[in-house]
Amino acid sequence: MIPLLAAVLLLAAPQSPDLKRARDRFEFGAWADAAGTVRAWLADHPDASGPDALEAYRMLGIAELKLGDLPQARSAFVSLLSVDPDYALDPFLVEPKVVEFFDQVKREREPALAPLRERRRSLEEQQRLAEEAQKRLLSEELTRSGPPAKVIRVQDRIYLFNWLPLGAGQFQNGDNAKGTAIAAAEVVLGAANVAAILFHNSIAQDPARRCSPSQPAGCRKPPYTDADRTLLSRADVVKYVSAGLFWAVYAYGVVDAHLHYVPRVETELSPKQGGALKLSWSF
């Protein structure tokens, strides 16, 4: 799992354009081109270390091994281990024979890698102790400086939101559940009203359902059938009822928003460090 995570981090880390070109050729299987590009990059960066160096030596070692140049592959893997003595190739991403060759080089170089590994662990321990000392120093400084500051956020609310539909006033007042319910109701009722109007007009304005006196046969038949009249009547009911309910919900939202409206809200925040009273405004 750790080698896989390390490989993912290496892939995600930003790389120089030359290394990116080398990686593209490496992934394509152009081993000679990849090895040449990596060698050129290493020549320009003789003191390279960190993720870029690890990735460069890894690609160079695998490419040379694919080309059959075992001494050059061994040299690249030794350089890789000199940067990170605990490095390991992931068998899920690298061919078994490459992993086996790398592990063999690692075992052969173990006497030389042990001091490097110990030195690296010593440096990591020193860094950890330094970070702990810095944390203790900051903690003591905060203790001496007294209690943390009281941070207050002052929020000025907009009065116009109380008159807007879709629960805008409720959302501003912090009542998200009620605002969501009002917004959903208004959307459904508005959609039902528009659908009823369109359906009514599609029947009422249909030329096939009209009777014109200018027709040769005259107006022998009524312009609408009984079924048409029933549909028009029901569409009118849906249209007026949905409109009435929409405005009722809108009026309720406006009244409720005004009842719970507070022009200015002060919120006390948890400060990171203190010493004084701090105010912040938001609109």
Domain closes at, from 108, 129, 146: 108
Q: Tell me, yes or no, whether 103 and 192 share the same domain.
A: no
Domain closes at, from 108, 123, 148: 108
Q: In what order do the strands lie in the sheet with 151-156?
A: 264-269, 151-156, 278-282
Assigned domain for 140 exists: no
The pLDDT score that the predictor gives to residue 245 is: 93
Assigned domain for 149 exists: no
Residue 8 has pLDDT above 60, yes or no: no
The predicted model scores a pTM of 0.42
Assigned domain for 46 exists: yes
Assigned domain for 210 exists: yes
Residue range 139-168, pLDDT digits in tens: 877 777 666 666 777 777 888 888 888 888
Length of the chain equals 283
Assigned domain for 208 exists: yes
188: its two tokens: 């459904």
What is the residue range of 56's domain?
2-108
Domain closes at, from 108, 124, 147: 108
Least confident of 46-50, 84-88, 275-279: 275-279
Q: Tell me, yes or no, whether 264 and 186 share the same domain.
A: yes
Q: Tell me, yes or no, whether 89 and 16 share the same domain.
A: yes
Assigned domain for 277 exists: yes
Q: Tell me, yes or no, whether 103 and 178 share the same domain.
A: no
Residue 53 has pLDDT above 80, yes or no: yes
- 175/185 Cα distance (integer angstroms): 16
- CATH at 77: 1.25.40.10
Number of domains the chain contains: 2
Per-residue exposure over 204-231, b if at least 16 CB sit within 10 Å of its own CB, e if not: eeeeeeeeeeeeeeeeeeeebeeeeeeb
Assigned domain for 139 exists: no
Assigned domain for 131 exists: no
One DSSP character per residue, 107-173 reads HHTHHHHHHHHHHHHHHHHHHHHHHHHHHHHHHHHHHHT-SPP-EEEEEEPPGGGGG-TTTHHHHHT
The pLDDT score that the predictor gives to residue 246 is: 92
Q: Tell me, yes or no, whether 75 and 178 share the same domain.
A: no
Least confident of 140-144, 175-179, 188-192: 140-144
Q: Tell me, yes or no, whether 163 and 85 share the same domain.
A: no
